[in-house]
Structures are given as structure tokens and as C-alpha cells.
Structure 1
Amino acid sequence: MDIIPVNRAGGRAAIEMRPVKLTREVLKNALGSCYVEFGDTKVLCAATIEEGLPAWRRASRQGWVTAEYAMLPASTGRRTKRETGQRKGRSMEIERLIGRSLRTVTNMRLLGEFTVTVDCDVIQADGGTRTASITGAWVALHDALMTWVEAGKIARLPLTGQVAAVSMGVVDGAELLDLDYREDSHAEVDMNLVATDTGEIVEIQGTGEQTPFSRERLGRLLDLGDAGIRKLIALQNEVTAFRDEE
């Protein structure tokens, strides 16, 4: 395959992620919180736990993990209206994705009859808000559940693993990892990968925005995504010491 030269912000290589930072315990009243930065994309994730379950879930006597997602008005170049009434379809789709991702690594039976909600609020958007949200939401979830363990509410940490997410795409013919807004807005192929610390895939979202793509290109993009996921998992573990707790 010919190597296509790229011109990315900050001089990034095609396989290079933006600077990623996970800052824990940023909110006083949340049981777990994480301020996640993927370059200029910044998301505040906060996890709370309530006793009881949604009505449809009560018969199972197993816990539930859900998420809510929103973009603050000044998070984009042009003011985003608050979703005070009817929710945007995009926000609902992303928060369902976040919830699904977190549930794949949570043992609901061990969690017991508690509901965990992780709120993800985008403070600044520059592409990849859903991938940043998932990555930071796991940290907030971990810390909230650890707080519950330490309080004697649950016997042990009900996490079976880690989960993170990253974007990939094709821009001007080049295959890139972790697209910023400028790249994402005119990508020929746009893709998101959600995966666990064992390399198992939770979800792939991929679209040929301007052109279809081959199975060979899909494989290369997934290889890019795998490399990004490994870096994010390592960073999550660095700030939480999750693997040391197992």
C-alpha cells in the first residue's frame, strides 16, 4: 500500500492519537467523576448510584447501568441549544451507546439492586465526543463502584474488565486514528470502535461518508483502532490501578 502523506494539526502522524488526559475526582458530590480530554475535546463524566431499579428491571433483582449525554451550549463554535424539551436523536443514540458499552463490563448480579447513572457533558467539542465519553465514563463508573464497595454497600467490585473507544477514518485517502473535527467533517470513511481490555469488540460504527470501502481497508482501520484502544486501556489502568485490584 502506498504511504499517503498527511498534514494533521499539531504535526500528528496518521497512527498517532491526540494528547489524552484522564483526571479523576473532579466533582465533590459525584461518587465517581472523570474529566477526559482528547486534544481539544473535553468531557465531564460523573457517576451516581441510587438504590432501587427501573420498574421493568425489578423482577431480575440485578443491577442496571445507564448513561446520559449532552453538549453544553458553548461546546461548539456556534451555540448549541439546550435540550430542555425534546431530546435530539444524536444525543439519545450516543447515550445508549455509552450505556451499552459500560454494561458489557459490569456484572449486574454482583451489583445488586442499584442503578448507576453516568452523566457525560461535553464542555468542548472537537471531534470524538462519544469516544471520549465512553473512555472517561468507565473511569467514573469504576470510582463510583469502588466507593460503594468501601461503604459496604456491595461485597466486591462488579467490573469484569475495562472498556474504551476511539475513532478512525479515511481523510484525503489517508487512514487516520482519532479524528478531530476538521478531519471528521470531511472524512471519506468515518468509524468508531468500542472494545474491552481483552481486545473483544463491543461495537463498530462505520460509514462510507463519501465512498464505499473494501474489507481490506476495514481491516487496516480496525488495526489502527486496536492500537488506540490499547493506549486508552493502559491510561485508564494507570489512573485507577484497576488491574492491581483484581
Structure 2
Amino acid sequence: MTTPEAPRERSYGRAADQMRPIKLTNDIIKTADGSCLAEFGDTRVLCCATVEEGVPKWRRASHGCGWVTAEYAMLPASTARRSKREYGARKGRSMEIERLIGRSLRSVVRMEKMGEITVTLDCDVIQADGGTRTASVTGAWVALHDALMGLVRANKLNRLPLTGQVAAISAGIVGGEALLDLDYSEDSHADVDLNLVGTDAGGIVEVQGTGERSTFSRAQLDGLLDMGQAAIERLVAIQNDVTGFRD
């Protein structure tokens, strides 16, 4: 007789479809135009927005449109083993993640309403325990919102050029079980790893799904997406509590 596998013990005693404790704290860096500390359990990412006049050279023919971009890095002590600082030689992973953050944010910005300004979101991982890219997207939106609101209050913009909110969450299959918001211990043993970026309107911005140790079925993919979209609804509600965007 086969002995049933014991239920998986998850951090914070949570169920398979539960996120870790989420906390978004804005206005945390007084010298930034907008800032947010995003905490997904033990993962902590500091997101800072900087507004600068002008746009990249290739953007100057866009007739007054602005630009939103991002940079991502992990601080040396953010992991158990010290990671080297990235100077001239950028890590491919960092470049891929910062492109994801930039694409995600631009999906909810009306850049034709920004004028020729550039907003850069710096996402620095202070402590990594899985889901750093999803925490970065979620926190960066708060920092972007606050930076743009500052321009509205200073009468540099007529209105907030945001069409909505964007947030992200991870999910995966570990030991045959679909789990939401993987921490490092789960992510490092995942059979399937998925990151979902979505909007407050229920739209999907990006899906990154990989069979790390096994393939997965269409039904399993649909289950992960359903789980992820329900989580994004909760994340945008937390963003709104912090920013008052939908008040």
C-alpha cells in the first residue's frame, strides 16, 4: 500500500493558493520622486522613481511622448552567499528582469500625455527569498504613481497619465502541487515556474512559464493563471490602499 504524501508545509502556514504577507510602504526615500518598499514575505525590494527632463535620442521623434524605463539589481548581501556588484558587465538575468519591469509599467501609462520626460524605476533587491521580479513590478507601480502625482501637484502635468494599475505574482508546480507566490525553497525545487503580470482591469500583460523539471498540461496552466489572476486582484487592492488611486 502506498502511503499518502504528507501535506506540504509552507512558510507562514499558508494554503497552496495563499500569498505570503504583503506590505507596500511608499514615500520611504525622501530624495526620490516616488518610492516604495515592497515586501513579499522575506523578499524585500526597494523601488525608487526618478523624473528627468528629456527622453532618449531615439524617442525624440515621438512628438512629445515621454518614456518609462527600469533598472534592477540585487544588493551583495541580499542572498545567503554574497553576490558581486554589477558594474560594467551586467548579468543577463538582471537585464531580462528590468526589461520586464519596464514593459509592465508602460502597459498602463499614456506616454503621449507625459511630455518629454523620462521616469526611471530603480528596483534594488535588499533581501531575496523568491519572487523578486514580481515584487519589483508591484512596488515599482506605486513609486511610478507617486512620482507622476508629484508632477500633477506641481502643475507640470494636467492629469495623471495612468490608465490603471499593474502588479505581478509567481506561481508554480512543486511536487505535483500547484502553489502561489513561491518562496526560494519552493522555487528552487519547482517542476514548473510561472510569473504573471496583470492589470486591475483583469488584463494579462505577460506570462513567463517554464517547465523546469517536467512538462505541464493546458489544464495545469489554466489553473496557475486562475490562481495568479485572483492574487493580482488582491495586490492591486493593496496598491490602492497605499496610493488612493481608485478613491
Which residue identity lines up with residue 88 of structure 1 in the other structure? K
SS at match of 1:14: coil
Question: 2:198 maps to which residue?
Answer: 195
Question: 2:55 maps to which residue?
Answer: 53
CA contact (8 A) 1:6 1:13 kept: no
- Tell me if 1:95 matches 2:98: yes
Separation in 1, partners of 2:233, 2:11: 23
Shift of 1:6: 2.2
Separation in 1, partners of 2:208, 2:53: 34
Separation in 1, partners of 2:94, 2:87: 12
Question: 1:22 maps to which residue?
Answer: 24
Shift of 1:11: 1.2
Which residue identity lines up with residue 15 of structure 2 in the other structure? A
Question: 2:76 maps to which residue?
Answer: 73
CA contact (8 A) 2:11 2:20 kept: no
Question: 2:38 maps to which residue?
Answer: 36
Question: 2:161 maps to which residue?
Answer: 158
Shift of 1:4: 8.3
- Tell me if 1:12 matches 2:14: yes
CA contact (8 A) 1:49 1:115 kept: yes
Question: 1:106 maps to which residue?
Answer: 109
Separation in 1, partners of 2:59, 2:183: 38
SS at match of 1:135: helix
Measured against aligned partners, the alpha-carbon deviations of 1:100-142 in whole angstroms (never above 9, x if no partner) come to 0000000001111100000000000000000000000000000
- Percent identity reads 70
CA contact (8 A) 1:45 1:136 kept: yes
Question: For 2:144, which of 141, 146, 153 is the aligned residue?
Answer: 141
What number of residue pairs does the alignment pair up?
243
Question: For 1:116, which of 114, 119, 133 is the aligned residue?
Answer: 119
- CA-based RMSD of the aligned residues comes to 1.2
Separation in 1, partners of 2:199, 2:6: 30
Normalised to the residue count of structure 1, the TM-score between the two structures is 0.97
List structure 1 runs of 4+ shifted beyond 2 angstroms: 3-6
- Tell me if 1:215 matches 2:223: no
Measured against aligned partners, the alpha-carbon deviations of 1:69-118 in whole angstroms (never above 9, x if no partner) come to 00000000000100012100000000000000000000001111100000
Which residue identity lines up with residue 41 of structure 1 in the other structure? T
Gaps in structure 2 of 5+ consecutive residues: none
Normalised to the residue count of structure 2, the TM-score between the two structures is 0.97
CA contact (8 A) 1:191 1:207 kept: yes
Shift of 1:34: 0.2
Question: For 2:87, which of 79, 84, 92 is the aligned residue?
Answer: 84
Separation in 2, partners of 1:221, 1:4: 22
